[in-house]
Every structure is written in C-alpha cells, then in structure tokens.
Amino acid sequence: MQLPTSEDIVDDLAFFDDWEQRYQYIIDLGKQIPGLSEEARTPDKLVKGCQSSVWLDYSKQDGRFQFDVDSDAVIVQGLLVLVLSAYNDKSGQDILKFDIDAYFKALDLERHITATRGNGLRSIVGKIRQIASVA
C-alpha cells in the first residue's frame, strides 16, 4: 500500500471543518493498512508505553526503512498511519532529522487526543527513532 505523505495528511486534515470528520479520516487511513499476521505479533515487536497493544516490525532495503504496524484499536491504527507517513521509506538519517513535533503541531493532533494516546504515540516515535539510530 502506498501511504500518503506527511504533507498530504496535513493538507487533507486541514480540509475538514471539525475534529469528528478528522477522526473519521484518520480511522479510514488505518483501515487501509494490512496490519501484521498473528504470527508476527510477537512480544519483541510489542511497543511498550502504549495504552492499546501496538506491534512494530521493520525491514531495511537500499538504506531505507519499511515499517509494518498493527494495533488492537481502530483509532490507534489510524494514528500509526500518521507516524508511518513521516517515517516510512526514509533513511535512518532522514528519520532522525524529521521534526515530528512540528508535524504533530501542524496536524493539531495532540490537543485532540487523550494524554495516554499522546504518550503512546511518543512511544512509537521513540521506538522508530531508536531503530533508525541503531540499524
């Protein structure tokens, strides 16, 4: 699946008048990704610090990371797409240089999700950045 870019998501969310429509857009994005098989949902891929269960897997090809994610919560699945749009198909250096705070601010996201979801989002970002810095 070809993910929208982070710029596309910022533009798309700005199109909607209210957050109910934006939430629906985010949920719809999450429904488009295939998720992980039951066999791939292993404890070592479970991201700690998330309220919902979130699994993160990755591969690296030609110096670029490909991330696969899954969650047991529909809205979280959509939030994962927002993160993937920022980091998927990027080099480790590009991942580490990307200003995720500015991206989240442009989405006006953290004002509209619960603190626990925000912390979970930060845990996912931290895990991806850790992978990028080591691999």
Length of the chain: 135
The DSSP code sequence of 20-70 is HHHHHHHHHHHHTS----GGG--GGGBPTT-SS-EEEEEEEETTEEEEEEE
Give the 3-state secondary structure of residue 109. Answer: coil
User: What is the maximal distance between C-alpha atoms in the chain?
Assistant: 41
Which of the following is catalytic: 3, 13, 33, 50? 50
**Is 54 noted as a catalytic residue in this protein?**
no
Catalytic positions, please? Answer: 50
